[in-house]
Amino acid sequence: MHNNIKTQFPLLNNNKNLVYLDSAATSQKPYSVINALTEYYNNANANPHRGAYSISIESTRIYEEGREKIKRFLNLPSSHEVIFTKNNTEAINLVAYSYGLNFINEGDEVLIAITEHHSNLIPWQQVAKVKNAKLNYLYLNEDYEITDEEIKNKLTEKTKIVAIGQVSNVLGTVNPVDKVIKRAHELNAKVMIDGAQGLPHLKTDLSKLTPDFYSFSPHKIFAPMGIGVLCADKNLLEEMPPFMFGGDMVEYVYEQETTFDEVPHKFEAGTQHVEGVLGLTKALEFVEYLGYDYIEETDRELTEYAQERLNSLPYIKIIGPKEASKKIAVISFLVDGIHPHDIATILDSKGIAVRAGNHCAQPLLRFLGINSTIRISLSIYNEKADIDKLIDALEYARRLFGYGHE
Ligand SMILES: Cc1ncc(COP(=O)(O)O)c(C=O)c1O
């Protein structure tokens, strides 16, 4: 058990009245992460991979040690490598541009889930358009699940790649990524897993899961913004052309030709985000200090409590499974008679930060027959008292809109 986790987050310490319920958008950062950035600028700031002097060598060490940390954290198979990008979106675009545009051909099929965030949807839509391939979707049944039958029907000999999120950022549901990977590999199709909403909540062992590509969003797991991670099969990366060109990713450059550095460097053009990688290293150490058992238990407790309290209000409609056990730290809902954006504004006036809108998942919302929701998303620094304040503020919003005297 960890006490006073909240006190390890300066923003929450400095804003005692803030109820932060938007961790799926970005998590708050602990002191250990923030202090590491200052420490880096105070003592080690230099361009990595370039200088022969000691602080540049130190900067290179910090950066490359971050790569090794991620490999250990995810139990990455030795066949895979880590590439740093500017965010999760760029990691997915790297795969779409470099793998998609070069290995997917006319008549091939690309399969994605209807739950996808635009970041793991539009890149594949573009690949399908440019290459005259077909974009297919895995849809949900009435219990918001992708069934075995759906996987069996949609994955065919023509499928070249499946791109699917580990956890939905709107519904909080866990997609059956293990089943998708198993079936895809039987059919020689590749799989790209978007771990943005998965890794902050679920212990993830990539040696067991074995996706060809796995990306995540460090700023959602306590790390700074501006850094992204792609883990990918080295054999594929060797065959894939660079996605961006410039300094530090080359071997020899001639007037008309260039040879490229080895994987992973050929995919990391330009000056690297060393302090972002350091912050990520510290963030992963923070997760290890908490332990996934603790994280998963806290998520479960808070999600169950929030779902139960929301369910007790007759004017709330939860979008997604009714059972809290089927979702992880994310709950979408509607308030009868009040638009989600109005709710978000009223909640803000009470110091409560939630997300309202389509959550960058327009096709999912259209599939569900709605155009926006209010979304709360929880993390280990939340407490049941935060949910109580949310419920009080929702009651206040209803009164404000004249529903209090029925
Ligand atoms: C499921 C999912 N995928 C992708 C992204 C995009 O990540 P980023 O904005 O960090 O690039 C998000 C961000 O909200 C997300 O929730």
> How sure is the predictor about 51, in pLDDT bands with cuts at 50, 70 and 90?
confident
> Given this model, what pLDDT does residue 102 score?
98
Q: Which is nearest to 27 in space by CA: 196, 175, 214?
A: 196
How far apart (Å, rounded) are the C-alpha atoms in residues 207 and 390? 40
What token pair was written down for 187?
């059919």
Look at ligand 1, atom 7, and give the residue with the nearest C-alpha: 88
Specify the pLDDT at position 346: 98
Catalytic residue among 114, 225, 290, 360: 360
Residue 218 CA, closest ligand 1 atom number: 10
This prediction's pTM: 0.97
pLDDT, tens only, 118-171: 999 999 999 999 999 999 999 999 999 999 999 999 999 999 999 999 999 999
Task: Please report the pLDDT score of residue 49 as a whole number.
Answer: 84
Please report the pLDDT score of residue 292 as a whole number.
98
The DSSP result for 96-125, as a single string, is IIIIIHHH--TT-EEEEETT--GGGTHHHH
Does the pLDDT at position 405 exceed 70?
Answer: no
What residues are in contact with ligand 1 under a 6 Å CB criterion?
Answer: 87-89, 117, 119-120, 165, 169, 194, 196-197, 217, 219
Best residue for ligand 1 mutational test, from 22, 87, 89 (most atoms within 8 Å of Cβ): 89
- Nearest residue (by CA) to ligand 1, atom 15, is 196
Percent of the chain with pLDDT over 90: 97
Q: Compute, in angstroms, the gap from residue 169 CA to the centroid of ligand 1.
A: 8
**What average pLDDT does range 190-204 have in this prediction?**
98
Distance 89 CA to ligand 1 centre (A): 6
Could you give the CA distance from residue 190 to residue 127 in angstroms, rounded to a whole number?
Answer: 15
Q: What is the mean pLDDT of residues 33-44?
A: 96
pLDDT tens digits, 211-268: 999 999 999 999 999 999 999 999 999 999 999 999 989 999 999 999 999 999 999 9
Q: How far apart are CA 190 and CA 99, in angstroms?
A: 10
Quickly state the pLDDT bin for 50 (edges 50, 70, 90).
confident
Q: What is the mean pLDDT of residues 203-209?
A: 98
| Angle, helix 274-290 to helix 54-73, in steps of 10 degrees | 40
pLDDT number for residue 220:
98
Token pair, residue 100, equals 């998609």
**Mean pLDDT taken over the chain:** 97
> How far, in Å, is the centroid of ligand 1 from the Cα of 248?
27
- Give counts: helices (H), strands (E), the chain: 15, 15
Cα of 219 to ligand 1 centre, how many Å?
10
Q: Confirm if 108 and 189 have CB atoms less than 8 A apart.
A: no
Under DSSP, is residue 231 helix (H, G, I), strand (E, B) or coil? strand
Say yes or no to pLDDT of 406 above 80: no
Q: Is the Cα dihedral 170, 173, 174, 177 positive or negative?
A: negative
Residue 26 Cα: closest atom of ligand 1: 14
Contact indicator for 21, 376 with CB cutoff of 8 Å: yes
